[in-house]
Structure 1
Amino acid sequence: MNDSTAGPADGALDDARPPAADPAPAPGERPWAEGGTEAGVSALDPAPPAPLGVARADTGQPEVDAVLRRLADVDHLATEGHLEVYEEVHQGLRSALTGLDTRPGPPPPR
């Protein structure tokens, strides 16, 4: 029986070490920020609000369109302010859907 096993040659395992992890940013560094680090800003500070640039087409329903336009306000709010806007929009859309059920439809056939 053969005692050899398939695998790297002797000493080849030493070269198979995992690469070293990137060092953590120094305090005050934001390596992901455009232009490198910013003095006086913690690496854990959230980025300022920025528009997502998501295009929105009108639905043709004025009530729904007005509610959906409110979503644009999120672009200028910190994350903590998003929930209030999302809940308001959700409630507005629910009201619009409920209103569809209460509007009179065509008369029943005779």
Structure 2
Amino acid sequence: MPDVSRKNDAEVVREVTACIEAAIAKNRRQEWIVVGVLLALFTTGLSLLVYGAVSQIWALLASGGLVQVTIAFPVYRLIQLREDNMRLQILPQLMRLAETNEAKVLAAQLVRRLIEKV
């Protein structure tokens, strides 16, 4: 007779892993958007700084410096996305460590809630 609890465990882990992979794919798309914004800010700020320095227009230098400072915000978001991905990648391993069916179901519910927040 097949071990029904093992099959259920495997199904739960598979379902959780699929949800996690979907969330990670969504995060990767967001990462690319953030990287694009970073590149745009960097090139804009650098262009303003160089043009302001060459033409000695202090307003351009100041605005270029301000644009360069705003790069910190997308970098922070990128770091958050990477940390979220790491947490999500660890979750299937935690699911495998849950010993009872009830623990696995509770862990699966926790994973769904975490993914919704990400």
1 or 2 for the larger relative contact order (CA 8 Å, sep ≥6)? Answer: 2
Tell me if TM exceeds 0.5: no
Which structure is higher in helix share? 2
